[in-house]
């Protein structure tokens, strides 16, 4: 055998063509990780007093003292923690409970098909719509007043911006559960959940117990990073919190955001310290969550091996199915409320519907809508296109070189999603100002790319890697060059997942609030920034117009993907978990 081995003279592998491709992953990482790193450093330095532009040249703890002396800081931190952790726990529980109890049912299939539009709707539109829905003067109370409640005027209770942040938590659950559901469904396909379930069922386990005991342990590692991303987002969200969280004191992220925009420039130091605290809060929450996972794992093992078979699970299916349907219902009602307000002329309390209708709200806002909508559209298309090109380059490079991705690569991809936006965007802004680059289109699109790219990559990677490699081999052996194989075989076969990824990227870009402000230097108004700017004004009709259009653009993008002709694409892999 030893001689046999020696006789195996390795030959030089055929040189892959397209040498420039090998630089795409490095370019991608540089484009989107370098700003995060630079942004963090640019935030940390002022937090410790170093910010020469504002006369801070001495390293010290003065910003921290000012931060901790700030009245109500403790309440702000507590509020962030409560709403963030609760929203993540409920979203995860709902997702896992629903998939465990309802897999292979018609409810599951139906809700899965409706997942794409729910994912498309931006966070802010849900927040505004929800505030229209559950406020004391909101749609729900109008529907039951006065005949059930007897209220002729809105009751004086804080149903939105409530002191416990429950309205914010609810909105986060409505928006984050679909994301976790999508990631879970994608993981199911990879874990061959069907085989595992079949084995467990044949051993006498009930469907829900079988799923929890054999499928969940296999897929949890794959949904761990998405859960951490949800946790980081929920702990540090700004745009939703402006509408739904209490404002005196507000959650920490809003406090930090206010300090960064304070007319008193000295507050930038306090803001930077607050941003570091926000980052520490997120990291600590992730660490505690990880510890809880270990605890659950230890407990779960005993439960797993104890042999309990569980029941038929029809009741849990009924409950989980209703809860998830209710969640979809809230999202749909929120959107419908936005649409109604945008065409209402008069809608006095407690009427269930507007008493007179008009398109004037749209016509009067036409100029602002045209500019903000155009900026939103251009930025979204550009960011999605760049992200798609980089993603395809990385995936194609990976396949031509036969590379496999490591877990570490995935962590890098998730980095911008795990670091709170207020934790590093100030540093990015400082960097852009120094480079005399702030307020340019490139800076705007680049700042969106940081958050668009991970989602585009995540939605395309599975489909791309799962395409049967023999199609490409067959084409190569027919004499097609690797580039021709890419353009003529892979792209056409994967056209729907590719378009789906582009739509995801567009939707993510439309939803961005802080990056637009920080990198755009206030020069760019998008539908999102305009809607937030209207938060104090309280004219629901104008707000309804902006928020509805903000939701409409991504929905149209997804509708366009769905409408794409599908003849002769039946063999291409559908995007992971997508309802196409």
Partner 1 sequence: MIADGQLELRRVGLQAGGRVLIAPFDLTVAPGHVATVMGPSGCGKSSLLAYICGTLDPGLQAGGQVLLDGEDVTALPPERRRIGILFQDDLLFPHLSVAENLAFGLPPTLRNRGLRQERIAAALADAGLDDFGDRDPATLSGGQRARVALLRTLLAEPRALLLDEPFAKLDVGLRTRFRHFVFDHVRSNSLPTVLVTHDPADAPACGGPVIQVGLTGEANGGHNP
Binding segment for partner 1 (CB under 8 A), chosen from 195-203, 272-280, 499-507, 561-569, is 561-569
For the bound state, the minimum distance from the C-beta of residue 498 to partner 1, rounded and expressed in Å, comes to 12
The helix or strand, by DSSP H or E, that contains position 7, with its residue range, turns out to be: helix 2-7
Residues in the interface with partner 1 (CB under 8 A) total: 40
Min CB(487)–partner 1 separation in Å: 12
Minimum CB separation of residue 14 from partner 1 in Å reads 4
Provide the minimum distance between the beta carbon of 566 and partner 1 in the complex, in angstroms, as a whole number. Answer: 10
**Of positions 377, 381, 476, 573, contacts partner 1 by CB under 8 A:** 476
Name which of residues 364 to 423 contact partner 1 (CB under 8 A). Answer: 401-402
Binding region for partner 1 (CB under 8 A) out of 11-19, 64-72, 257-265, 438-446:
11-19
Minimum CB–partner distance for residue 458 and partner 1 (Å): 24
Per-residue binder mask for partner 1 (CB under 8 A), 454-473, x = binder: --------------x-xx-x
| Start-end of H helices in 135-266 | 139-144, 166-190, 193-202, 207-210, 216-236, 239-244, 252-260
Least separation, in Å, of the C-beta of 10 and partner 1?
5
Does 434 engage in binding with partner 1 (CB under 8 A)?
Answer: no
- Beta bridge pairs of residue 344: 357
Distance CA 460, CA 501 (A): 6
Q: List the one residue from 10, 71, 150, 537 that touches partner 1 (CB under 8 A).
A: 10
What the block records as the tokens of 396 is 């194609």
CB 336 within 8 A of CB 488: no
Write out the binding residues for partner 1, residues 271-310 only, by CB under 8 A. Answer: none
Q: Partners of 58 in the beta sheet?
A: none
* Of residues 144-173, those binding partner 1 (CB under 8 A): none
To partner 1, the closest distance from the beta carbon of 571 in angstroms equals 4
- Report helix, strand or coil for 398: helix
Distance of closest approach, residue 393 Cβ to partner 1, in angstroms: 19
Q: Does 19 bind partner 1 (CB under 8 A)?
A: no
Query: Crossing angle, helix 252-260 and helix 267-305, to 10 degrees?
Result: 160
Of 3-11, 148-156, 228-236, 370-378, which segment contacts partner 1 by CB under 8 A? 3-11
CB of 18 to partner 1, least distance (A): 11
Pick from 15, 52, 106, 306: which binds partner 1 (CB under 8 A)? 15
Site for partner 1 (CB under 8 A): which residue of 42, 572, 578, 579? 572
Contact assessment for residue 382 and residue 445, using Cβ atoms and an 8 Å cutoff = yes
Pick the closer one to partner 1 by CB: 350 or 409: 409
Please select the residue that binds partner 1; options are 19, 148, 477, 538, rule is CB under 8 A: 477
Q: Quick check: 366 and 157 in contact, CB under 8 A?
A: no
Confirm or reject binding of residue 571 to partner 1 (CB under 8 A): yes
For partner 1, which residue of 5, 19, 148, 538 counts as binding (CB under 8 A)? 5
Q: How far apart are CA 113 and CA 578, in angstroms?
A: 7
Q: Rounded to whole angstroms, how far apart are CA atoms 164 and 74?
A: 14
Q: In this chain, which of 325, 466, 569, 580 binds partner 1, going by CB under 8 A? A: 569
For tokens 């800076």, name the residue. Answer: 443
Closer residue to partner 1, CB minimum distance, 301 or 484 = 484
Q: Is 9 in the site for partner 1 (CB under 8 A)?
A: yes
Phi, psi dihedrals of residue 346, rounded to the nearest 5°:
-130, 130
Based on CB atoms, which residue is closest to partner 1, 3 or 305? 3
Q: Are 91 and 172 in contact (CB under 8 A)?
A: yes
Least distance from partner 1 to the Cβ atom of residue 568, Å: 5
When asked if residue 8 is in the footprint of partner 1 (CB under 8 A), the reply is yes
C-alpha separations of 254 from 237, 258, 260, 292, 421 in Å: 8, 6, 10, 28, 11
**In whole angstroms, how close is the CB of 51 to partner 1 at the nearest point?**
49
73 forms part of the interface with partner 1 (CB under 8 A):
no
Among 71, 479, 536, 537, binds partner 1 (CB under 8 A): 479
Q: Which is nearer to partner 1, 254 or 467 (CB)?
A: 467
DSSP label at residue 344: E
CB of 21 to partner 1, least distance (A): 14
Nearest to 240 by CA among 146, 172, 164, 324: 172
Please answer whether residues 283 and 82 qualify as being in contact, where contact means their C-beta atoms are separated by less than 8 angstroms. Answer: no
How far apart (Å, rounded) are the C-alpha atoms in residues 432 and 188? 42
| Helix/strand/coil (H/E/C) assignment for every residue in 260-318 | HCCCCCCHHHHHHHHHHHHHHHHHHHHHHHHHHHHHHHHHHHHHHHCCCCCCCCHHHHH
Nearest to 229 by CA among 411, 394, 48: 411
CB of 390 to partner 1, least distance (A): 23
Binding mask 480-519 for partner 1 (x = CB under 8 A): xxx-----xx--xx-x------------------------
Region from 9-17, 153-161, 347-355, 510-518 binding partner 1, contact rule CB under 8 A:
9-17
**Three-class SS of residue 232?**
helix
**To the nearest whole angstrom, how small is the minimum distance from the Cβ of residue 1 to partner 1?**
6
- The verdict on 474 binding partner 1 (CB under 8 A) reads yes
Chain-centroid distance of CA 85 in Å reads 16
- Residue nearer to partner 1 on the CB measure, 345 or 473: 473
- Nearer to partner 1 by C-beta: 371 or 471? 471
Residue 56, phi then psi, degrees to nearest 5: -90, 105
What Cα–Cα distance (Å) separates residue 167 from each residue in 122, 127, 162, 246?
17, 9, 7, 9
Of the pair 261, 481, the CB lying nearest partner 1 is at: 481
Side-chain-facing half-sphere of 495: CA atoms under 13 Å: 16
Q: Which of 244, 234, 260, 128 is nearest to 179 (CA)?
A: 234
Q: Which of 475, 499, 549, 555 binds partner 1 (CB under 8 A)?
A: 475
List contacts with partner 1 (CB under 8 A).
Answer: 1, 4-5, 7-17, 401-402, 468, 470-471, 473-482, 488-489, 492-493, 495, 567-572
């Amino acid at each position: 055998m030893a001689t046999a081995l020696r006789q195996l003279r390795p030959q030089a592998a055929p040189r892959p063509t397209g040498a420039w491709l090998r630089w795409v992953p490095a370019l991608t990482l540089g484009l989107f990780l370098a700003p995060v790193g630079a942004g963090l450093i640019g935030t940390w330095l002022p937090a410790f007093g170093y910010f020469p532009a504002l006369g801070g040249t001495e390293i010290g703890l003065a910003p921290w003292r000012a931060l901790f002396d700030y009245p109500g800081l403790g309440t702000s931190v507590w509020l962030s923690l409560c709403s963030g952790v609760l929203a993540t726990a409920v979203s995860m529980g709902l997702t896992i409970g629903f998939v465990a109890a309802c897999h292979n049912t018609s409810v599951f299939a139906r809700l899965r098909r409706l997942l794409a539009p729910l994912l498309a709707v931006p966070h802010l539109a849900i927040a505004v719509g929800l505030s229209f829905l559950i406020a004391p003067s909101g749609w729900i109370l109008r529907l039951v007043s006065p005949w059930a409640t007897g209220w002729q005027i809105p009751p004086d209770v804080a149903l939105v911006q409530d002191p416990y942040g429950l309205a914010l938590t609810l909105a986060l659950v409505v928006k984050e559960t679909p994301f976790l559901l999508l990631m879970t469904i994608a993981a199911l396909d990879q874990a061959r959940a069907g085989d595992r379930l079949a084995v467990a069922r044949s051993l006498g386990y009930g469907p829900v117990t079988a799923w929890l005991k054999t499928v969940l342990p296999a897929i949890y590692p794959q949904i761990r990073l998405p859960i951490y991303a949800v946790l980081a987002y929920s702990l540090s969200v700004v745009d939703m919190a402006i509408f739904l969280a209490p404002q005196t004191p507000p959650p920490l992220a809003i406090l930090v955001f206010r300090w960064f925009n304070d007319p008193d420039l000295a507050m930038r130091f306090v803001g930077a310290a607050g941003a570091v605290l926000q980052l520490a809060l997120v990291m600590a929450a992730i660490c505690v969550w990880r510890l809880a996972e270990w605890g659950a794992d230890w407990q779960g093992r005993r439960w797993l091996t104890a042999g309990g078979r569980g029941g038929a699970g029809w009741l849990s299916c009924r409950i989980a199915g209703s809860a998830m349907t209710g969640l979809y219902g809230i999202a749909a009602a929120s959107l419908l409320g936005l649409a109604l307000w945008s065409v209402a002329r008069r809608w006095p309390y407690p009427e269930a519907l507007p008493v007179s209708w008009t398109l004037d709200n749209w016509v009067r806002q036409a100029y602002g809508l045209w500019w903000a909508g155009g900026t939103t559209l251009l930025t979204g298309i550009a960011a999605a296109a760049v992200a798609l090109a980089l993603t395809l380059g990385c995936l194609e490079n990976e396949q031509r070189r036969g590379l496999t991705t490591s877990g570490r690569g995935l962590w890098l991809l998730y980095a911008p999603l795990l670091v709170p936006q207020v934790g590093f965007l100030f540093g990015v802004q400082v960097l852009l100002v120094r480079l005399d680059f702030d307020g340019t289109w490139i800076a705007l699109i680049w700042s969106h790319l940081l958050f668009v790219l991970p989602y585009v990559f995540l939605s395309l990677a599975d489909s791309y890697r799962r395409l049967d490699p023999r199609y490409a081999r067959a084409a190569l052996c027919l004499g097609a060059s690797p580039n021709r194989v890419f353009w003529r075989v892979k792209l056409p076969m994967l056209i729907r997942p590719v378009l789906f990824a582009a739509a995801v990227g567009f939707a993510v870009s439309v939803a961005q609030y802080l990056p637009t402000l920080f990198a755009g230097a206030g020069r760019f108004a998008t539908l999102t920034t305009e809607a937030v700017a209207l938060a104090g004004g309280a004219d629901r009709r104008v707000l309804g117009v902006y928020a509805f259009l903000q939701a409409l653009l991504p929905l149209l993008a997804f509708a366009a993907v769905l409408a794409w002709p599908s003849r002769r694409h039946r063999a291409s892999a559908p995007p992971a978990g997508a309802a196409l």
